[in-house]
Structure 1
Amino acid sequence: MLKSAYPYYLANEPVYANQDLPVIDKYSGEVATRVALADAKAIDAGIAAADAASDAMRKLPAYKRQQILQHCVQRFTERLEELAQALTIENGKPINDARGEAIRLVDTFRIAAEESVRIYGEVMPLDISARAVGYTGMWKRVPVGPCSFISPFNFPLNLAAHKVAPAIAAGCPFVLKPASMTPIGALIIGEVLAETDLPKGAFSILPCSRDGADLFTTDPRLKLLSFTGSPQVGWELKAKAGKKKVVLELGGNAACIIDHDSDIEDAVKRVVFGAFYQSGQSCISVQRILVHEAIYKTFRDQLVAATKALKMGDPKDPATFIGPMISSKEAERLEGWVKEAVAAGATLLCGGKRNGAMLEATLLENVKSSANISCQEAFGPVAILSPFTDFDAALKEVNNSDFGLQAGVFTRDIYKIQRAWDELEVGGVVIGDIPSWRVDHMPYGGVKDSGLGREGIRYAIEDMTELRMLIVRTPPKEQR
């Protein structure tokens, strides 16, 4: 399914510069293909090309931007299975989940096509006092200019799309660094973009080493940096970014509250999905599960049974739900956190065993709040359970975190729903479902160590544009 080698894209053109980046099949551990690795010279050339393309991109009519995005929708739809198979190989994502992500890629570009022709402005009355009589104001949004994008390994199609698609809709040229472990999806996006009549230099997609990527952050020709990845790296990049805008979509240790009036069977079904979907490698994966004591034992027993029933194995098998983590190193880290928690008194309810990059779906209880598996981001197939008696105390426990991305609350009480929305220090509160739920046009992002700004096409366009004000004075003789 994969080609033997892939280029990088520099100023809209494929460049087969080398085959220096091996891409590993995450299940077999074998080299699946090789990719051209960009050096500092190529990155500088991509930034220069984006800078030179700024005027042409700014002047590109909205209907042309929409046509380009619609072409992407058509071509991604035609190549849906190819995209999904490539994702399963390079990421280890089970094929059913990979097909779901490929569909979301299409959705994201379709939403961007719709938004590209409705980037509105506003007429603003200025005559709020006698001195402003005769003045009229209006504003519009203009592209911020060349953008720098750094996307992660866990959703290499759709999280790249959440940067690329709004940039095209807004009229911003860009350079994109995909994750080195999963560059193929972004390069297929590049193949499709190269089929369009985007202005020369409008995009470059440049896999490169982390050490060689400084220009993506520090170059002053770039006017916005959008990074998705770990909190440690994200905040370091922000400190180095200079005067440019910075948007960060970082990590989390998402919590889910299950109140006493919940439908236990439904909540178990959703929590199993939220905790172990794509081996828990999502920043909104369910990690902390707070269950009312009245239903705790019943919920726990059903959740353990459902977790044990998950099929683990080859991600190319449609029956597989748990595939490999991104690397053996990450699986070892998380296995160590599980052992650390058990040594400190936690109870292992199920799972915990590792074989290479494969880590069993794991549930723990009686975990100390100071344990890494509780207070840090697991980013793998591990979740912890704890009982609560008071709903407001449970809200405080959810907030007892350095992160604040999304939270889930299962309750039928409208007043508790309102309190959760008012009190939870997160970017989104999901009622009757898991924090892992997202649809691609909604505002998405977090607070605290979970980041800055919001994704979701309309909201990303706001970051990728600036307000430009026009003030018109009508002389007294011309006033009617």
Structure 2
Amino acid sequence: MDFSKNLNKQYINGSWVDGSDDDVIINKNPYNQEKLQEIKAASKSDVDKAYKAAKDASTSWANALPQERSKIVMKFSEVLEKNKEKIMEWLIKEAGSTTVKAAVEIQICQAIIKEAASFPTRSHGFIMHSSIPGKENRVYRRPIGVMGIISPWNFPMNLSIRSVVTAIALGNTLVLKPASQTPVTGAILIAKLFEEAGLPKGVCNVVVGKGSEIGDYFVAHETPQLISFTGSTPVGRNIGKIAGEALKKVALELGGNNVFIVMKDADVEKAVDAALFGKFMHQGQICMSINRIVVHEDIADEFVDLFVKKAKKLKAGDPSDQKVTVGPLIDTDQVERIQEDLKKSIDAGAKLVLDGKVEGTLMHPTILDHVTDDMPIAANEIFGPVAAIIRFKKEEDALKIANSKDFGLSGALHTKDIEKGVAFARKVETGMIHINDQTVNDEPNVPFGGEKGSGVGRFNGEFILEEFTRLQWVSIQHEGRDYAPFA
């Protein structure tokens, strides 16, 4: 696959074309601000063309044999694996991924791709009993049709692919709009991989444009029957409002304010190791990242001392350096936002126990102790390498903290009493929670999604089959029916 061509183009109906908007999107390396490329932005007319291409291709792709769709998805996996090193390079320089994070992202992509390859034959209907004599009920499962997919910048390839490959495997066509910060890894490379895999034209289309110009139009457009969005809760609420007015289905995976609870009987060292991963993986720029570390007061000093000691050993710097575990934030706006919340929280009484320096978009690990749940660093989604430690006395206090926010994406709980931990976990208002682990988990066969302000719907496995397909009831009256008193 030629990585030197068409990485600054739109992909519409099987052709690489320039966007028709006057604006240009500047794609930068978040670590050193090097300009990677300029992309002529997509306009509303480009969105129209992309949706038309998807609609024109929808009937033939929906009718493609299951083995044909599965073969394309598996070929996509092969092409991705063949070009893995080049793709990792792009994840590092465009998304600020460390080498570890880039490798993990490719691994997660491959897992969901291989799961999706089985979807064409797992998507089935039903024969159901009827309460009416002589009637047969059949329930057919059909593709949604055309989908609009909007993906974020933090795990750009993974969070695009999980919707894209599922949509394609189930017989849908789509238009993909990536985040402006990561157009290549979030969409353009995916289109190139599918082109190499032999996907028919019009099935997968890409528009790279500014959200302020085409975002609402992309969602409100009359063609897509479902909008899949991964990103912030405020944007997700707006998408839900627009889609709701048009009676479109939505699959929304939104923000999180995830708790990591350490009970009095926990193995402190194991809890610290898990917290380091869950907090600082990809600089904390993951929807599932730990936002609040809630530790029992009897072991809090021990936990904090060890957590600080180990966090100091994490190397922050150029993400292309294989020894670096903490890379840059995506842009300076994120740094400024976090620093403001950090200052306000310290002014409110939080204790700075690890003061991580700031170098441009690079933030070294920072740890605050004696945080309260109402401080900005706990109340807001951090999305950066700042750990907020809240101490608790009673388990009911920990539960109250866990459920205090309008988020419920992920969580974790450390205890030696597994069943007691499960009983506690089931009281936490979250879509996912992990005992004696950390919050950043994703497996292709389990339901992935949140509660409250963290989203609507579930991704992965058989659960996403329900999201990305529709059911049609067809009944057959085999015997004459008594319509008395009308007949």
Question: How many Å apart are 1:191 and its aligned residue?
Answer: 0.5
Moved more, 244-253 or 466-475: 466-475
Moved more, 430-439 or 415-424: 415-424
Gap runs ≥5 in structure 2: 482-487
1:392 to 376, 381, 396: 396
2:311 aligned with 1:293: no
1:173 and 1:201 in contact (8 A); partners too: yes
Question: How many Å apart are 1:173 and its aligned residue?
Answer: 0.5
Aligned residue type for 1:193 = F
Residue in structure 1 matched with residue 15 of structure 2 by the alignment = 13
Distance 2:3 2:53 in 1: 29
Q: Which whole-Å deviations, capped at 9, do the CAs of 1:392-435 have from their partners, x for residues lacking one?
A: 33122100111100110111223423322321100011111111
2:223 to 221, 224, 227: 221
2:373 and 2:401 in contact (8 A); partners too: no
2:19 and 2:43 in contact (8 A); partners too: no
Aligned residue type for 2:168 = I
Moved more, 405-414 or 71-80: 405-414
1:303 to 286, 307, 313: 307
2:206 aligned with 1:202: no
2:47 aligned with 1:43: yes
**Secondary structure, counterpart of 1:462 in structure 2:** helix
2:239 aligned with 1:237: yes
Question: How many Å apart are 1:97 and its aligned residue?
Answer: 1.0
Question: How many Å apart are 1:377 and its aligned residue?
Answer: 0.7
- Sort the Cα spacing of 1:95 and 1:2 in 2 relative to 1 into closer, same or farther, 3 A: farther
Question: How many Å apart are 1:37 and its aligned residue?
Answer: 2.2
Gap runs ≥5 in structure 1: none
Aligned residue type for 1:200 = K
Moved more, 378-387 or 407-416: 407-416
Distance 2:127 2:396 in 1: 44
Residue in structure 1 matched with residue 442 of structure 2 by the alignment = 438
1:147 and 1:222 in contact (8 A); partners too: yes
**Secondary structure, counterpart of 1:70 in structure 2:** helix
2:149 and 2:229 in contact (8 A); partners too: yes
Aligned residue type for 1:359 = M
2:454 aligned with 1:450: yes
Distance 1:332 1:61 in 2: 52
Counterparts of 1:56-455 in structure 2, within 5 Å, are 56-127=60-131, 132-185=132-185, 186-213=187-214, 214-241=216-243, 242-455=246-459
- Sort the Cα spacing of 1:113 and 1:420 in 2 relative to 1 into closer, same or farther, 3 A: same
Distance 2:107 2:8 in 1: 23
Q: Which whole-Å deviations, capped at 9, do the CAs of 1:262-302 have from their partners, x for residues lacking one?
A: 22111111100110110000011011111122221111100
2:19 and 2:46 in contact (8 A); partners too: no
1:145 and 1:223 in contact (8 A); partners too: yes
Moved more, 230-239 or 347-356: 347-356
Moved more, 52-61 or 160-169: 52-61
2:418 and 2:435 in contact (8 A); partners too: no
Moved more, 462-471 or 280-289: 462-471
Question: How many Å apart are 1:369 and its aligned residue?
Answer: 2.1
Distance 1:3 1:375 in 2: 44
Distance 1:392 1:192 in 2: 50
Question: How many Å apart are 1:354 and its aligned residue?
Answer: 1.5
* Pairwise CA RMSD: 1.8
Question: How many Å apart are 1:352 and its aligned residue?
Answer: 4.0
1:2 and 1:86 in contact (8 A); partners too: no
**Secondary structure, counterpart of 1:315 in structure 2:** coil
Q: Which whole-Å deviations, capped at 9, do the CAs of 1:329-352 have from their partners, x for residues lacking one?
A: 111110111111001111011034
Distance 1:277 1:249 in 2: 19
**Secondary structure, counterpart of 1:423 in structure 2:** coil
**Secondary structure, counterpart of 1:282 in structure 2:** coil
Distance 1:96 1:290 in 2: 27
**Count of matched residue positions in the alignment of Structure 1 and Structure 2:** 473
1:338 and 1:352 in contact (8 A); partners too: no
Question: How many Å apart are 1:225 and its aligned residue?
Answer: 0.5
Question: How many Å apart are 1:50 and its aligned residue?
Answer: 1.1
1:335 and 1:352 in contact (8 A); partners too: no
Distance 2:156 2:301 in 1: 38
2:135 and 2:475 in contact (8 A); partners too: yes
Distance 1:16 1:61 in 2: 33
Distance 2:56 2:273 in 1: 52
Question: How many Å apart are 1:476 and its aligned residue?
Answer: 6.0
Question: How many Å apart are 1:195 and its aligned residue?
Answer: 2.6
Distance 2:64 2:107 in 1: 27
Distance 2:118 2:177 in 1: 26
Residue in structure 2 matched with residue 55 of structure 1 by the alignment = 59
Question: How many Å apart are 1:201 and its aligned residue?
Answer: 1.4
Question: How many Å apart are 1:152 and its aligned residue?
Answer: 0.1
Question: How many Å apart are 1:197 and its aligned residue?
Answer: 4.0
Residue in structure 1 matched with residue 485 of structure 2 by the alignment = none
Question: How many Å apart are 1:22 and its aligned residue?
Answer: 2.1
**Secondary structure, counterpart of 1:333 in structure 2:** helix
1:80 and 1:103 in contact (8 A); partners too: no
Normalized against structure 1, the TM-score is what? 0.95
Moved more, 226-235 or 380-389: 380-389
Normalized against structure 2, the TM-score is what? 0.94
Q: Which whole-Å deviations, capped at 9, do the CAs of 1:454-480 have from their partners, x for residues lacking one?
A: 111432231111111122222169xxx
Residue in structure 1 matched with residue 484 of structure 2 by the alignment = none
1:147 and 1:224 in contact (8 A); partners too: yes
Moved more, 77-86 or 386-395: 386-395
1:169 and 1:461 in contact (8 A); partners too: no
Distance 1:369 1:421 in 2: 19
